Amino acid sequence: MENRIINKSAEMFLKHGFKSVTMDDIALEMGISKKTIYKYFKNKKELIKIVITQLIEKISYGIDFIFEMNLNPIDKLFTIKDFVTYYLKSESSSPFYQLQKYYPVIFNSLISNQFNKVDEYVIKNLKNGIEQGLFRNDINLKLISRFYATGINGIKNAELFNPIQFNNLEVQKNFLEYHLRGVCTQQGINYIETIIKIKVNNNE
C-alpha cells in the first residue's frame, strides 16, 4: 500500500502540482481513506519528500542507462532531455514551480543533491565529445560543467522562467542548444542542425 500511495501521489503531483493536490484528492483517487495515507506518512510534506527522492533515483537510473548506450555525446544529451521531459510529464503543468514556491526546503535540497550528479555527467560527456571531434578541445571542462549545472538549476527558477510566460519545453530545448553551440566544433554544429531539422520535420 505504501508504494501504491507513493506512485499515485507522484503521478498526481506531476500532473497537477505539489500544492494543488491535497491528501483528500489522493485518498479519493485511490478509493481509500485519508487515515490510511496517514498510517504511512505523517503529513503531506513527508510524502512529497519521499516522492521527490524516488523520482530523482529513477531519473538518475534512466540517465545512467542512456550514458551506457552506444550514442555519440550530442545524441546522449538530446535523448536525456527527451527522457526527463517525458518522465516528468511537465509540458502541460508547472509542478516544480509549486514545489519551489510552497516547499522551498525540499526544492533547495533537490537542487543541491542534483548538482554533483550533473557535474559528473557533463564532464564525462564533454570528454567523449572532444575525443570524437564534436566538442572543442580548448574548453575548460570543470568550468563548463559548472555553467551547465547552474543553467539546469536556473531554468527551474520560477521567478526567472515563470511557466505562464515561458513554455517549459521551449526553455529546455533552447538551453540545450545554447550549451551545445558554445562547446561544439563546426562538425558538432553541423550535426546539431541536422538533428534540429529532423525534429522540426517530425513536429517534435
Question: Three-class SS of residue 197?
Answer: helix
134: domain CATH number?
A: 1.10.357.10
What is the DSSP annotation of 32-74? S-HHHHHHH-SSHHHHHHHHHHHHHHHHHHHHHHHHHSS--HH
pLDDT at residue 57, rounded to an integer: 86
| Domain contains 134 | yes
| Domain contains 12 | no
Q: What is the mean pLDDT of residues 93-97?
A: 68
Q: What's the rounded Cα separation, in Å, for the pair 185 and 182? A: 9
Q: Which domain holds residue 171?
A: 59-201
Q: Is the pLDDT of residue 140 over 50?
A: yes
Average pLDDT of every residue of the chain: 89
* CA dist list (Å): 152 to 141, 171, 198: 16, 10, 24
| Domain contains 163 | yes
The total of structural domains in the chain comes to 1
| Domain contains 25 | no
Q: What is the mean pLDDT of residues 166-190?
A: 93
Backbone phi and psi for residue 97, each to the nearest 5 degrees, phi listed first: -65, -45
| Domain contains 66 | yes
Q: Is the pLDDT of residue 203 over 60?
A: yes
Please state, as a whole number, how many other Cβ atoms lie within 10 Å of the Cβ of residue 30.
17
Q: What's the rounded Cα separation, in Å, for the pair 85 and 80? A: 8
Q: Is the pLDDT of residue 98 over 50?
A: yes
Give the list of residues 6+ apart from residue 111 with CB closer than 8 angstroms, or none: 153, 156
In this prediction, residue 26 has a pLDDT band, given cuts at 50, 70 and 90, of very high
pLDDT at residue 159, rounded to an integer: 79
pLDDT at residue 59, rounded to an integer: 84
| Domain contains 17 | no
Q: Is the pLDDT of residue 42 over 80?
A: yes
| Domain contains 26 | no
Three-class DSSP labels, 72-105: CHHHHHHHHHHHHHHHHCCCCCCHHHHHHHHCHH
Q: Is the pLDDT of residue 36 over 90?
A: yes
pLDDT at residue 92, rounded to an integer: 45
